[in-house]
Structure 1
Amino acid sequence: MSNENRDETNDDERAIRIDIDRNNVERTAPRDDVSKQEASIAKAIVGGEVGQHEQASLAFKAIVCSAFIVLMVTYPLIVALTKRKGKFVYHPSSAVLLIELGKFLVTGVLCVVVRPSFDGFNARSVVVLALPSIVYMIANNLAYTVLEVTSPVTMNVLSNVRLFMVAIIYWLVLARPISRARWIAMFLVAVGLVCSQLRGDMRLAVTGLGLFYIFLKALLSVVNGIYTEIVLKHHVSNFHVQNLQMYAWGVITNLLVFLYGSTKPLAEIRSSFFEGFNSFVWVSIFVGALTGIVTGAVMKHLDNIAKFFCVSLANISLGVLTAYFLPSEFQFSLLFLIGAILVGLASYMYSINGLPDCAKKFLSLKSLEW
Structure 2
Amino acid sequence: PAMANESVGLLFKLYCLVVMTMVAAAYTVALRFTRTVSADLYFSTTAVCLAEVIKLFLSVGMLARETGSLGKLKASVDEHIFHSPKELLKLSVPSLVYAIQNNMAFIALSNLDAAVYQVTYQLKIPCTALCTVLMLNRSLSRLQWLSVFMLCGGVTLVQWTPAESTKVQVEQSPMMGFAAIAVAVLCSGFAGVYFEKVLKSSDTSLWVRNIQMYLSGIAVTLCGVYLTDGVQVMEKGFFFGYTPWVCFVVLLASVGGLYTSVVVKYTDNIMKGFSAAAAIVLSTIASVTMFGLQITVTFASGALLVCVSIYLYGLPKQDTTRITKTDPDKDVKLKLIGV
What TM-score do the two structures reach when normalised by structure 1? 0.69
The answer to whether the 8 Å contact 1:87/1:148 transfers is no
SS in 2 for 1:273: coil
Matching residue of 2:89: 127
User: Quick one: structure 1 residues 235 and 260, their matched pair in 2 at CA, closer, same or farther if it must change by over 3 Å?
Assistant: farther
Asked whether the equivalents of residues 125 and 235 of structure 1 are also in contact (C-alpha less than 8 Å), the reply is: no
For residue 107 of structure 1, the aligned residue among 52, 59, 64 is 59
The partner residue of 1:284 within 225, 233, 249 is 249
**Aligned partner of 1:211: which letter?**
F
Alignment of 1:250-289 (within 5 A): 250-264=217-231, 269=234, 272-289=237-254
1:89 — aligned with what? 41
**2:273 is aligned with what amino acid?**
F
What amino acid is the match of 1:289? S
Task: Confirm whether residue 346 of structure 1 aligns to residue 316 of structure 2.
Answer: no
Q: Which of 22, 27, 43 is residue 70 of structure 1 equivalent to?
A: 22
Pick from 114, 124, 127 the counterpart of residue 165 of structure 1: 127
Map 1:10-89 → 2, pairs under 5 A: 57-84=9-36, 89=41
Alpha carbons of 1:155 and 1:236: their partners in 2 closer, same or farther (altered >3 Å)? farther
Q: Give aligned pairs, total.
A: 295
Match of 1:181 among 133, 143, 158: 143
Q: Counterparts of 2:10 and 2:138 in 1: how far apart (Å)? A: 38
Counterpart of 1:254, as a letter, is T
1:299-324, CA deviations, whole angstroms, 9 ceiling, x for partnerless residues?
22111121111110111110110121
AA in 2 matched with 1:123: P
C-alpha contact (below 8 Å) 1:195/1:336 kept by paired residues = yes
CA distance in 1, matches of 2:150, 2:137: 23
Counterpart for residue 317 of structure 1: 282
| Secondary structure class of the residue paired with 2:42 | coil
**Deviation digits for residues 187-245 of structure 1 (CA, Å, limit 9, x no counterpart):** 321332234445499xxx99333322211110111111232233454256111111122
Paired residue type of 1:64: C
Q: Does 1:301 find its partner at 2:253? A: no
1:270–1:253 CA distance, 2 compared to 1 (3 A): farther
Provide the residue aligned with 1:17 in structure 2: none
Cα gap change, 1:197 to 1:224, in 2 (>3 Å): same
Aligned partners of 2:300, 2:153: CA distance in 1, in Å?
13
Residue matched to 1:237: 204
Deviates further, 299-308 or 132-141 = 299-308
Where does structure 2 lack aligned partners over 5 or more consecutive residues?
1-6, 164-171, 319-339
Greater alpha carbon shift after TM alignment, 169-178 vs 338-347: 169-178
Q: Report the alpha carbon displacement of residue 129 of structure 1 after superposing the two structures with TM.
A: 0.4
Q: In 2, Cα distance between the equivalents of 1:127 and 1:317?
A: 39
- Deviation of residue 352 (structure 1)? 4.2
Greater share of residues in helix: 2
Between the aligned partners of 2:12 and 2:181, the Cα distance in structure 1 is 33
Match of 2:174 in 1: 207
**Which of 188, 193, 196 in structure 1 is aligned with 2:155?**
193
Residue type of the partner of 1:348? Y
